[in-house]
Protein backbone atom coordinates (compact mmCIF):
# COMPACT_ATOMS: atom_id res chain seq x y z
CA UNK A 1 0.00 0.00 0.00
CA UNK A 2 1.14 3.53 -0.70
CA UNK A 3 2.21 5.64 2.27
CA UNK A 4 -0.18 8.18 3.81
CA UNK A 5 0.85 11.81 4.18
CA UNK A 6 4.25 11.92 5.83
CA UNK A 7 3.70 15.05 7.93
CA UNK A 8 0.61 13.85 9.75
CA UNK A 9 1.83 10.27 10.07
CA UNK A 10 4.89 11.55 11.91
CA UNK A 11 2.70 12.56 14.87
CA UNK A 12 1.17 10.27 17.49
CA UNK A 13 -2.22 10.70 19.16
CA UNK A 14 -2.47 14.13 20.85
CA UNK A 15 -1.26 14.33 24.43
CA UNK A 16 -4.68 15.56 25.57
CA UNK A 17 -6.43 12.45 24.33
CA UNK A 18 -3.67 10.16 25.60
CA UNK A 19 -3.77 11.62 29.11
CA UNK A 20 -7.58 11.73 29.25
CA UNK A 21 -7.74 8.04 28.33
CA UNK A 22 -5.15 7.23 31.00
CA UNK A 23 -7.12 9.25 33.56
CA UNK A 24 -10.28 7.27 32.79
CA UNK A 25 -8.41 3.99 32.93
CA UNK A 26 -7.07 4.79 36.43
CA UNK A 27 -10.08 6.71 37.70
CA UNK A 28 -7.85 9.74 38.24
CA UNK A 29 -8.89 13.37 38.70
CA UNK A 30 -8.28 14.71 35.21
CA UNK A 31 -6.41 18.03 35.34
CA UNK A 32 -4.73 17.26 32.01
CA UNK A 33 -6.83 18.16 28.97
CA UNK A 34 -8.24 21.69 29.20
CA UNK A 35 -11.97 21.65 29.81
CA UNK A 36 -14.16 22.96 32.64
CA UNK A 37 -16.11 20.45 34.75
CA UNK A 38 -19.12 22.79 34.84
CA UNK A 39 -20.95 23.79 31.67
CA UNK A 40 -21.17 27.51 30.93
CA UNK A 41 -24.22 29.77 31.42
CA UNK A 42 -27.54 27.89 31.56
CA UNK A 43 -29.31 30.57 29.50
CA UNK A 44 -26.91 30.01 26.60
CA UNK A 45 -27.43 26.25 26.77
CA UNK A 46 -31.21 26.81 26.92
CA UNK A 47 -31.03 29.12 23.91
CA UNK A 48 -29.24 26.37 21.97
CA UNK A 49 -31.86 23.80 23.02
CA UNK A 50 -34.71 26.11 22.03
CA UNK A 51 -33.13 26.88 18.65
CA UNK A 52 -32.63 23.15 18.05
CA UNK A 53 -36.31 22.37 18.69
CA UNK A 54 -37.60 25.39 16.84
CA UNK A 55 -35.30 24.97 13.83
CA UNK A 56 -34.46 25.41 11.08
CA UNK A 57 -31.75 22.78 11.35
CA UNK A 58 -30.52 23.18 7.78
CA UNK A 59 -27.25 24.61 6.48
CA UNK A 60 -26.72 28.13 7.82
CA UNK A 61 -24.99 30.66 5.52
CA UNK A 62 -21.42 29.68 4.76
CA UNK A 63 -19.89 32.61 6.67
CA UNK A 64 -22.13 32.02 9.68
CA UNK A 65 -25.49 33.27 10.94
CA UNK A 66 -25.78 37.07 10.59
CA UNK A 67 -26.78 37.27 14.30
CA UNK A 68 -23.50 35.70 15.39
CA UNK A 69 -21.35 37.66 12.95
CA UNK A 70 -22.99 40.87 14.15
CA UNK A 71 -22.39 39.81 17.76
CA UNK A 72 -18.68 39.11 17.06
CA UNK A 73 -18.30 42.56 15.51
CA UNK A 74 -20.13 44.24 18.42
CA UNK A 75 -17.98 42.36 20.93
CA UNK A 76 -14.78 43.57 19.20
CA UNK A 77 -15.99 47.16 19.36
CA UNK A 78 -17.15 46.87 22.99
CA UNK A 79 -13.98 45.33 24.40
CA UNK A 80 -11.23 46.58 22.10
CA UNK A 81 -12.65 49.58 20.23
CA UNK A 82 -12.20 47.70 16.95
CA UNK A 83 -14.54 48.75 14.18
CA UNK A 84 -15.48 45.59 12.33
CA UNK A 85 -17.81 45.19 9.36
CA UNK A 86 -19.70 42.02 10.16
CA UNK A 87 -20.53 41.31 6.54
CA UNK A 88 -17.04 41.42 5.05
CA UNK A 89 -14.80 40.87 8.09
CA UNK A 90 -16.31 38.10 10.27
CA UNK A 91 -16.64 34.37 9.68
CA UNK A 92 -17.84 31.59 11.99
CA UNK A 93 -15.89 28.31 12.13
CA UNK A 94 -16.20 24.95 13.84
CA UNK A 95 -13.87 25.91 16.67
CA UNK A 96 -10.67 27.90 16.73
CA UNK A 97 -8.90 24.80 15.44
CA UNK A 98 -10.74 24.93 12.14
CA UNK A 99 -10.01 28.65 11.91
CA UNK A 100 -6.29 27.98 12.38
CA UNK A 101 -6.31 25.32 9.67
CA UNK A 102 -8.31 27.56 7.30
CA UNK A 103 -5.86 30.45 7.76
CA UNK A 104 -2.87 28.30 6.86
CA UNK A 105 -4.58 26.55 3.95
CA UNK A 106 -5.57 29.97 2.64
CA UNK A 107 -2.35 31.92 3.08
CA UNK A 108 0.57 29.51 2.77
CA UNK A 109 2.39 28.58 -0.41
CA UNK A 110 4.82 25.65 -0.06
CA UNK A 111 8.18 26.99 1.13
CA UNK A 112 6.79 30.04 2.94
CA UNK A 113 8.10 30.54 6.45
CA UNK A 114 5.92 30.77 9.54
CA UNK A 115 7.32 32.14 12.80
CA UNK A 116 6.08 30.47 15.98
CA UNK A 117 6.80 30.86 19.66
CA UNK A 118 7.67 27.72 21.58
CA UNK A 119 6.25 26.08 23.72
CA UNK A 120 3.46 25.63 21.19
CA UNK A 121 -0.14 24.50 21.40
CA UNK A 122 -0.15 21.01 19.94
CA UNK A 123 -1.96 21.51 16.62
CA UNK A 124 0.20 24.44 15.47
CA UNK A 125 3.14 22.60 14.02
CA UNK A 126 1.16 19.90 12.19
CA UNK A 127 -1.09 22.55 10.62
CA UNK A 128 1.82 24.78 9.61
CA UNK A 129 3.84 21.90 8.20
CA UNK A 130 0.89 20.22 6.45
CA UNK A 131 0.17 23.52 4.71
CA UNK A 132 3.70 23.29 3.30
CA UNK A 133 5.32 26.01 5.38
CA UNK A 134 8.72 25.92 7.04
CA UNK A 135 8.40 26.52 10.79
CA UNK A 136 10.81 29.02 12.37
CA UNK A 137 10.50 28.76 16.12
CA UNK A 138 11.81 30.91 18.94
CA UNK A 139 11.54 30.04 22.59
CA UNK A 140 10.23 31.90 25.58
CA UNK A 141 11.97 30.73 28.74
CA UNK A 142 10.68 30.22 32.25
CA UNK A 143 10.19 31.59 34.82
CA UNK A 144 8.98 34.81 33.17
CA UNK A 145 8.56 33.68 29.53
CA UNK A 146 9.74 37.09 28.27
CA UNK A 147 9.82 37.65 24.52
CA UNK A 148 13.36 36.91 23.20
CA UNK A 149 13.57 39.96 20.98
CA UNK A 150 16.86 39.29 19.20
CA UNK A 151 15.93 35.67 18.45
CA UNK A 152 12.52 36.72 17.18
CA UNK A 153 14.06 39.32 14.93
CA UNK A 154 16.48 36.70 13.58
CA UNK A 155 13.61 34.30 12.86
CA UNK A 156 12.02 36.73 10.41
CA UNK A 157 13.21 36.86 6.79
CA UNK A 158 11.97 37.88 3.34
CA UNK A 159 10.27 34.51 3.18
CA UNK A 160 8.21 35.01 6.36
CA UNK A 161 4.56 34.79 5.39
CA UNK A 162 3.10 35.02 8.86
CA UNK A 163 3.57 34.86 12.61
CA UNK A 164 1.29 32.52 14.55
CA UNK A 165 0.77 34.07 17.98
CA UNK A 166 -1.13 32.61 20.92
CA UNK A 167 -2.04 35.32 23.43
CA UNK A 168 -2.91 34.58 26.25
CA UNK A 169 -0.62 31.65 25.75
CA UNK A 170 -1.16 27.96 26.38
CA UNK A 171 0.69 26.33 28.20
CA UNK A 172 2.86 29.13 29.65
CA UNK A 173 -0.12 31.22 30.87
CA UNK A 174 1.76 34.25 29.54
CA UNK A 175 -0.08 37.44 28.60
CA UNK A 176 1.98 39.51 26.16
CA UNK A 177 2.74 43.06 27.28
CA UNK A 178 2.10 46.13 25.20
CA UNK A 179 5.86 46.60 24.75
CA UNK A 180 6.26 43.03 23.46
CA UNK A 181 3.37 43.46 21.05
CA UNK A 182 4.84 46.75 19.81
CA UNK A 183 8.08 44.95 19.04
CA UNK A 184 6.23 42.18 17.19
CA UNK A 185 4.23 44.78 15.26
CA UNK A 186 7.46 46.43 14.07
CA UNK A 187 8.79 43.13 12.73
CA UNK A 188 5.55 42.30 10.93
CA UNK A 189 5.53 45.67 9.22
CA UNK A 190 9.20 45.56 8.32
CA UNK A 191 8.81 42.11 6.73
CA UNK A 192 5.35 42.70 5.27
CA UNK A 193 4.06 39.62 7.11
CA UNK A 194 0.65 38.63 8.48
CA UNK A 195 -0.22 37.68 12.04
CA UNK A 196 -2.60 34.87 12.87
CA UNK A 197 -3.63 35.56 16.47
CA UNK A 198 -5.13 32.74 18.49
CA UNK A 199 -6.88 34.65 21.27
CA UNK A 200 -9.19 31.94 22.57
CA UNK A 201 -8.31 32.86 26.19
CA UNK A 202 -8.98 36.59 25.66
CA UNK A 203 -11.41 36.69 28.61
CA UNK A 204 -9.27 34.72 31.05
CA UNK A 205 -6.60 37.18 32.27
CA UNK A 206 -5.60 37.81 35.86
CA UNK A 207 -4.43 40.42 38.36
CA UNK A 208 -6.05 43.31 36.46
CA UNK A 209 -3.98 42.60 33.36
CA UNK A 210 -5.44 43.68 30.08
CA UNK A 211 -5.63 41.48 27.01
CA UNK A 212 -4.45 43.55 24.06
CA UNK A 213 -5.31 42.10 20.64
CA UNK A 214 -2.36 42.57 18.29
CA UNK A 215 -4.93 43.73 15.73
CA UNK A 216 -5.47 46.95 17.72
CA UNK A 217 -1.87 48.14 17.30
CA UNK A 218 -1.21 50.96 14.82
CA UNK A 219 -0.68 49.65 11.29
CA UNK A 220 -1.73 46.07 12.10
CA UNK A 221 -5.46 46.15 11.45
CA UNK A 222 -5.11 44.97 7.85
CA UNK A 223 -2.39 42.36 8.38
CA UNK A 224 -3.87 40.60 11.44
CA UNK A 225 -6.34 37.76 11.72
CA UNK A 226 -7.98 37.42 15.11
CA UNK A 227 -9.43 34.10 16.27
CA UNK A 228 -11.79 33.57 19.24
CA UNK A 229 -13.64 30.56 20.63
CA UNK A 230 -16.99 30.23 22.38
CA UNK A 231 -15.61 27.04 23.90
CA UNK A 232 -13.34 29.06 26.22
CA UNK A 233 -15.35 32.25 26.61
CA UNK A 234 -18.52 30.39 27.64
CA UNK A 235 -17.03 27.21 29.15
CA UNK A 236 -18.63 25.05 26.46
CA UNK A 237 -15.58 23.41 24.91
CA UNK A 238 -17.54 20.62 23.22
CA UNK A 239 -19.49 23.07 21.08
CA UNK A 240 -16.54 23.92 18.85
CA UNK A 241 -17.78 27.33 17.74
CA UNK A 242 -15.00 29.71 16.73
CA UNK A 243 -14.88 33.07 14.98
CA UNK A 244 -12.39 34.78 12.72
CA UNK A 245 -12.06 38.52 12.25
CA UNK A 246 -9.90 39.97 9.45
CA UNK A 247 -9.85 42.67 6.79
CA UNK A 248 -11.98 41.75 3.73
CA UNK A 249 -8.91 41.04 1.54
CA UNK A 250 -7.75 38.46 4.11
CA UNK A 251 -11.10 37.04 5.12
CA UNK A 252 -12.03 36.26 1.49
CA UNK A 253 -9.27 33.68 0.90
CA UNK A 254 -9.77 32.23 4.40
CA UNK A 255 -13.47 31.78 3.62
CA UNK A 256 -12.45 29.81 0.53
CA UNK A 257 -10.64 27.32 2.74
CA UNK A 258 -13.59 27.16 5.14
CA UNK A 259 -16.11 26.52 2.35
CA UNK A 260 -14.26 23.39 1.31
CA UNK A 261 -13.46 22.14 4.81
CA UNK A 262 -16.57 22.34 7.03
CA UNK A 263 -18.61 24.90 5.05
CA UNK A 264 -20.62 25.72 8.17
CA UNK A 265 -21.33 25.11 11.87
CA UNK A 266 -24.46 23.91 13.73
CA UNK A 267 -27.08 26.71 13.51
CA UNK A 268 -28.53 26.33 17.01
CA UNK A 269 -25.09 26.67 18.59
CA UNK A 270 -24.39 29.77 16.51
CA UNK A 271 -27.69 31.31 17.64
CA UNK A 272 -26.88 30.63 21.29
CA UNK A 273 -23.31 31.96 21.07
CA UNK A 274 -24.67 35.15 19.49
CA UNK A 275 -26.78 35.64 22.62
CA UNK A 276 -23.76 34.84 24.80
CA UNK A 277 -21.53 37.46 23.21
CA UNK A 278 -24.19 40.01 24.08
CA UNK A 279 -23.93 39.30 27.80
CA UNK A 280 -23.14 42.29 30.04
CA UNK A 281 -19.52 43.19 30.86
CA UNK A 282 -19.84 41.64 34.29
CA UNK A 283 -20.15 38.15 32.80
CA UNK A 284 -16.78 38.47 31.06
CA UNK A 285 -15.08 40.08 34.07
CA UNK A 286 -16.66 37.38 36.25
CA UNK A 287 -15.03 34.62 34.19
CA UNK A 288 -11.55 36.02 34.87
CA UNK A 289 -12.37 36.57 38.56
CA UNK A 290 -13.68 33.06 39.00
CA UNK A 291 -10.65 31.53 37.28
CA UNK A 292 -8.25 33.74 39.22
CA UNK A 293 -9.69 32.50 42.52
CA UNK A 294 -9.22 28.92 41.32
CA UNK A 295 -5.67 29.69 40.25
CA UNK A 296 -4.87 31.08 43.70
CA UNK A 297 -6.44 28.13 45.49
CA UNK A 298 -4.72 25.53 43.34
CA UNK A 299 -1.33 27.28 43.17
CA UNK A 300 -1.25 27.52 46.97
CA UNK A 301 -2.00 23.80 47.19
CA UNK A 302 0.71 22.85 44.71
CA UNK A 303 3.24 25.01 46.57
CA UNK A 304 2.25 23.32 49.82
CA UNK A 305 2.84 19.89 48.23
CA UNK A 306 6.34 21.05 47.27
CA UNK A 307 6.11 21.97 43.58
CA UNK A 308 7.88 25.04 42.29
CA UNK A 309 4.88 26.82 40.76
CA UNK A 310 5.35 29.33 37.93
CA UNK A 311 3.39 32.56 37.58
CA UNK A 312 0.10 32.27 35.77
CA UNK A 313 -1.10 35.48 34.12
CA UNK A 314 -4.03 34.06 32.16
CA UNK A 315 -5.67 30.94 30.60
CA UNK A 316 -6.82 28.09 32.82
CA UNK A 317 -3.49 26.32 32.96
CA UNK A 318 -0.71 26.45 35.53
CA UNK A 319 2.80 25.10 35.07
CA UNK A 320 4.84 23.59 37.88
CA UNK A 321 8.38 22.27 38.19
CA UNK A 322 8.31 18.89 39.95
CA UNK A 323 12.06 18.59 40.61
CA UNK A 324 11.82 19.78 44.24
CA UNK A 325 9.70 16.68 44.95
CA UNK A 326 12.72 14.50 44.27
CA UNK A 327 11.05 12.43 41.54
CA UNK A 328 13.48 10.48 39.36
CA UNK A 329 12.35 10.65 35.75
CA UNK A 330 11.08 13.03 33.10
CA UNK A 331 7.76 14.84 32.78
CA UNK A 332 6.10 12.00 30.88
CA UNK A 333 7.14 9.55 33.62
CA UNK A 334 5.93 12.00 36.23
CA UNK A 335 2.48 12.42 34.65
CA UNK A 336 2.09 8.66 34.35
CA UNK A 337 3.24 8.24 37.95
CA UNK A 338 0.79 10.75 39.43
CA UNK A 339 -2.07 9.36 37.32
CA UNK A 340 -1.46 5.77 38.32
CA UNK A 341 -0.18 6.16 41.88
CA UNK A 342 -1.73 9.42 43.11
CA UNK A 343 -4.91 9.48 41.02
CA UNK A 344 -4.31 12.93 39.52
CA UNK A 345 -3.64 13.57 35.82
CA UNK A 346 -1.61 16.42 34.33
CA UNK A 347 0.00 17.02 30.96
CA UNK A 348 3.78 16.86 30.36
CA UNK A 349 4.97 20.24 29.07
CA UNK A 350 7.55 18.57 26.78
CA UNK A 351 4.56 17.81 24.52
CA UNK A 352 4.55 21.52 23.64
CA UNK A 353 8.17 21.49 22.47
CA UNK A 354 9.57 20.24 19.18
CA UNK A 355 12.37 18.35 20.89
CA UNK A 356 12.21 16.98 24.38
CA UNK A 357 14.97 18.58 26.41
CA UNK A 358 12.60 20.70 28.55
CA UNK A 359 11.24 17.81 30.57
CA UNK A 360 10.70 18.90 34.18
CA UNK A 361 7.42 20.84 33.96
CA UNK A 362 3.84 19.66 34.16
CA UNK A 363 0.71 21.58 33.22
CA UNK A 364 -2.39 21.39 35.40
CA UNK A 365 -5.81 22.60 34.27
CA UNK A 366 -7.61 24.37 37.14
CA UNK A 367 -11.04 25.27 35.64
CA UNK A 368 -12.64 22.73 37.96
CA UNK A 369 -14.92 22.76 41.00
CA UNK A 370 -13.11 23.83 44.17
CA UNK A 371 -13.71 20.52 45.92
CA UNK A 372 -12.17 18.64 43.00
CA UNK A 373 -9.11 20.90 43.08
CA UNK A 374 -8.84 20.33 46.84
CA UNK A 375 -9.18 16.58 46.40
CA UNK A 376 -6.40 16.61 43.77
CA UNK A 377 -4.10 18.51 46.13
CA UNK A 378 -4.91 16.08 48.93
CA UNK A 379 -4.02 13.12 46.72
CA UNK A 380 -0.76 14.72 45.58
CA UNK A 381 0.14 15.64 49.16
CA UNK A 382 -0.41 12.05 50.24
CA UNK A 383 1.67 10.68 47.36
CA UNK A 384 4.64 12.97 48.04
CA UNK A 385 4.53 13.02 51.84
Binding site for ligand PMP (CB under 6 A): 34, 95-97, 121, 166, 170, 198, 200, 229, 231, 237, 240, 242
Q: Which is nearer to ligand GLN, 271 or 288 (CB)?
A: 288
User: Does position 170 bind ligand GLN by CB under 6 A?
Assistant: yes
Residue 166 binds: one of ligand GLN, ligand PMP, none (C-beta under 5 to 8 A by kind): ligand PMP
Minimal CB distance to ligand GLN: which residue? 34
Q: Are 242 and 95 in contact (CB under 8 A)?
A: yes
Residue 140: CB minimum distance to ligand PMP, A: 14
Q: Decide if residue 16 touches ligand GLN (CB under 6 A).
A: yes
Instruction: Write down the least CB distance from residue 216 to ligand GLN, Å.
Output: 24
Query: Judged by CB under 6 A, does residue 33 bind ligand GLN?
Result: yes
Strand ordering across the sheet containing 317-321: 308-309, 317-321, 361-365, 347-348
Phi, psi of 117 (to 5 degrees): -110, 120
Query: Does residue 10 sit in helix, strand or coil?
Result: coil
Length of the chain equals 385
Nearest residue (CB) to ligand GLN, 34 versus 343: 34
Q: Which does 295 bind (CB under 5 to 8 A by kind): ligand GLN, ligand PMP, none?
A: none
Question: What is the distance between the alpha carbons of residues 285 and 215, in angstroms, rounded to a whole number?
Answer: 21
Residues 6 or more apart whose Cβ sits within 8 Å of residue 341: 383
In 3D, which of 211, 275, 212 has the Cα closest to residue 241?
A: 275
Task: Choose from ligand PMP, ligand GLN, none: what does 16 bind? Cβ within 5-8 Å by kind.
Answer: ligand GLN
- Out of ligand PMP, ligand GLN, none, what residue 96 binds, judged by CB under 5 to 8 A for its kind, is ligand PMP
> Within 10 A of 20 (CB to CB), how many other CB atoms are there?
18
CA–CA gap between residue 304 and residue 161 (Å, rounded): 46
Site string for ligand GLN, 115-134 (x = CB under 6 A): --------------------
Least CB distance from residue 158 to ligand GLN, whole Å? 33
* Smallest separation, CB 298 to ligand GLN (Å): 16
CB of 133 to ligand GLN, least distance (A): 21
Cα 260 from Cα 264, distance rounded (Å): 10
Q: Which residue is nearest to ligand PMP, using beta carbons?
A: 95
Please say which residue, 16 or 183, places its beta carbon nearer to ligand GLN.
Answer: 16
**CA 223/CA 193 separation, integer angstroms:** 7
Measured CA to CA in angstroms, residue 221 lies from 24, 145, 195, 224, 248 at distances of 45, 26, 10, 6, 11
CB of 89 or CB of 98, closer to ligand GLN:
98
Residue 34 near ligand GLN by CB under 6 A = yes
Judged on CB neighbours under 10 Å (0-12, 13-18, 19+), 135 is middle
The Cα 47–Cα 139 span in angstroms is 43
The least CB distance from residue 228 to ligand PMP, in Å, is 8
Interface contacts to ligand GLN, rule CB under 6 A: 14, 16, 33-34, 170
Amino acid sequence: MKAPNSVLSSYGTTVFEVMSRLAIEHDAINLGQGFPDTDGPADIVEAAAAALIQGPNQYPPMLGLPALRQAVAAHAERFYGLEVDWQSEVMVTSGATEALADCHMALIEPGDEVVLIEPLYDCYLPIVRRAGAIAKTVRVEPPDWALPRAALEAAFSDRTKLLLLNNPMNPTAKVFTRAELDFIAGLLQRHDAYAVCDEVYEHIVFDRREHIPLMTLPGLRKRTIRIGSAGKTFSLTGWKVGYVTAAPELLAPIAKAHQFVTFTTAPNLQQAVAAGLGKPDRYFAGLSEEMQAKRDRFAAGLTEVGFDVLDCAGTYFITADFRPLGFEGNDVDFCRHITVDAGVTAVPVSAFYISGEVDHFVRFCFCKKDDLLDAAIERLAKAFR
